[in-house]
Structure 1
């Protein structure tokens, strides 16, 4: 069984949904990756929030931006799958849903992401191409990648 996918504006998120998605982001990006950084960065209010619920819990999440809110192109960020669900390959499903949502909500075909370097092959499998040298973001190696549908 797969997660049930939902997409909501910041204002449409329930308090419980917001708490759960922030908890998931903190669990992975701060604790698991041992990275002290400001996750709550003021950009959530501009984003669309895509998340997958499974057995009553948010297990996958990404935030989506229209062009010029983050990059020149539309963008996808804070892509995360709960550690306990990574064996289910829902990261791929999450990105397919995110790309589709960018098209549907923003009518955009050009997408830019700031990807953690170790996930380069994963994003290439979705059609993204490396467009920058490696750079550090919060002491983690990243690359910029772009996709045109």
Structure 2
């Protein structure tokens, strides 16, 4: 487990394997994913895809509340490359730079965990510019996932 603090709104983050997560941390991350991906985005999909157990989880907290989260997927599990998925920020905390902060922390974590590597993600197309600003480039065609347009993007090592 790695912990760190940030001056941006007294943020703290932790990076943990699935087995290092406490029951409360697991509940918090699943609740946030459900709040955004199922309820807010109105997508009926199986979030629990049997990959969480093999992934690393970056949790970003303000005080005691989970405000943003990402899942780091080892190479070979979803894609050839290391992947970032389930990128989510709490609706109550949007517009404060948390998406950028959680992604910067996640990119650092990918390189800590796996060394210099290419990183892939499936971006919702409305967030294309955001991911491009973090060094990702579109790779492939737009596709529909659960009724939302996505495109795969890669950030070269």
Deviating more after overlay: 112-121 vs 100-109: 100-109
Partner SS for 2:84: strand
Q: Distance in 1 between matches of 2:10 and 2:142?
A: 34
How many residues get paired? 149
**C-alpha deviation, 1:35, in angstroms:** 0.7
Q: Name the CA distance, whole Å, in 1 between partners of 2:37 and 2:145.
A: 12
Change (3 A) 1:88 1:10: same
Question: Which residue is 2:136 aligned to?
Answer: 128
TM-score (norm 1): 0.97
Q: 2:99 aligns with which of 52, 74, 91?
A: 91
> Aligned to 2:151, what secondary structure does the other structure show?
strand
- Could you tell me which of 67, 71, 91 is aligned with 1:63? 71
Q: 1:7 aligns with which of 1, 15, 25?
A: 15
| 1:81 alignment partner, one of 81, 89, 98 | 89
Could you tell me which residue of structure 2 aligns to residue 105 of structure 1? 113
Structure 1 unaligned spans of 5+:
none
Find the residue that maps to 1:87 and give its secondary structure.
Answer: coil
Where structure 2 has 5 or more consecutive residues not aligned to the other structure, the ranges are 1-8
Match for 2:50 among 36, 42, 61?
A: 42
SS state at 1:113 partner: strand
State the alpha-carbon separation in 1 of the partners of residues 26 and 139 from structure 2: 32
State the TM-score, normalized to the length of structure 2. 0.92
1:24 aligns with 2:32: yes
Structure 1: distance between partners of 2:10 and 2:41: 26
Give structure 1 regions of 4+ aligned residues with deviation exceeding 2 angstroms: none
**Counterpart among 54, 72, 79 of residue 62 in structure 2:** 54
Post-superposition offset of 1:145: 0.2
